[in-house]
Each structure stands twice: as C-alpha cells, then as structure tokens.
Amino acid sequence: MEYLIVSTLPPQHEGAAELIGQLAETLPQAEVVYTQQMKISACLGCNSCWLKTPGRCPIHDDYEPLMLKFLQAKAVVFVCDTKLGFLSYQAKNLFDRILPLATMYLTIVDGQMRHIPRYHKNLAAAVLYTGQSDNAYLNRWLARAMLNLHGVSLGAYPFEEKGAALDALAHC
C-alpha cells in the first residue's frame, strides 16, 4: 500500500463513492478504509499513551490497526464531511487518537514547542471534505496539526477540487 484513503463517510455516500473511486484509480497502490463500520472511540485524554504504556492507546477498539497503516503509507487521504464549520467529530477523533505516535518529550521547532515524534516517519495527509466550511481555516488547521506531528499537510480540499488534491498527492 502506498496511499491510504480513510473515509468517515459510508461507501454508499454518493459524492464520496465517486470521489474515492477516482482516487483509488489514479493513485498507485491505494487502500480504502471505511471507518463507519468500525468502532473508533474519541480520545479520552488519559495520557496513558505517553506515560503509562508509551506508544499504545489503552482503548482497545479498531483504531490501533488503522494507526499502524498510517505508519506504512506514503500519504493518508481523509475523506469526510464537515459540521459546524469544522471536520465532523468522527474525522476529528481520527486525529485526536494519533497521540501515541508522539512522545511526551518536548523540543522546539521554529521557536515553538513540539513533541518529539516516536518514530522516524514523515507523515503526509490531505483532507477532502464535503459540506460548508471555510477552506482557508481548514488549511490553517491541517497545516498546524501536521506540523505538530512533524509531518506535512498536503492541503484541505472540497470534493469539487479533487483535481488539485490529486496533484498534491501525486507529487508528495
């Protein structure tokens, strides 16, 4: 697998089905995962993945296998809807649960505090979303979220701009 496509929208979602079909056709060795049928809890903020069982989340649901795929992919594409001007909670949970990939230890990058990553892995992620949201804001957020993980943002795009997303993904 080179590209991992993670959709929080169900396979029968019309817009997403078409989009994912095109992504999977265009991107080499793409694997598609639908989280709707999976059990993925919110992060409960317990800090165990940093302090008690470093690198492992104590919530034993379907998230850990997905997180391991993040470590194997060249780039991850999140396909989701937006609510209240931000990612849906299902999509945000996928980001909140990623904390085991960082360590508790702190460093400073470009004058700002960051966590030292647990693995040498250049995570790259793009978000493709449906629903009304401020695109500039989603890009700002994703850039910061990825910076925190010492990764790169490949951008946030509404479904209609999938061409630009494919471009960024193909060249990452």
Partner 1 sequence: MHLLIVSCTPRAVAASNTDKILTAFCEGFEAQGNTTERYYLARRDTWPQIRDAFAQNDDVLFALPLFVECVPGMMLEFLETLTPKAGKTKISFLLQGGFVEGCQLRCCEAYLETLPAYLGCIYNGTLLKGGMFGVSFVPDQQREKVLAPFVQAGTQFAQDGCFDKQKANEFAQPEYLSKGKALVLRLSKPVQKMVFRKIAKEKMHSTEPLDAKPFLQVVK
Question: Contact residues for partner 1 (CB under 8 A)?
Answer: 42-48, 50-56, 68, 71-73, 83-90, 92-93, 95-96, 98-99, 103-108, 111-113, 116, 118-121, 134, 137, 140-141, 144-145, 148
Q: How far is the CB of 74 from partner 1 (least distance, A)?
A: 8
How far apart are the C-alpha atoms of 130 and 119, rounded to whole Å? 32
Q: Applying CB under 6 A, which of residues 12, 28, 45, 110 lies at the interface with ligand FMN?
A: 45
Is residue 94 at the binding interface for ligand FMN, with CB under 6 A as the rule? no
Q: CA-based angle 106:148:10, to the nearest 5?
A: 140
Is residue 57 at the binding interface for ligand FMN, with CB under 6 A as the rule? no
Nearest in space to 42 (alpha carbons), one of 102, 97, 101: 97
Nearest in space to 8 (alpha carbons), one of 41, 32, 35: 35
How far apart are the C-alpha atoms of 111 and 99, rounded to whole Å? 22
Q: How far is the CB of 60 from ligand FMN (least distance, A)?
A: 17
For residue 127, give the amino acid letter.
V
Q: How far is the CB of 73 from partner 1 (least distance, A)?
A: 8
Residues near ligand FMN (CB under 6 A), total = 5
DSSP line for 37-72: TS--PPP----HHHHTSTT--S--SSHHHHHHHHHH
Q: Which is nearer to ligand FMN, 64 or 96 (CB)?
A: 96
Is residue 96 at the binding interface for ligand FMN, with CB under 6 A as the rule? yes
- Please report, as ranges, the residues that interact with ligand FMN according to CB under 6 A: 43, 45, 96, 99, 148
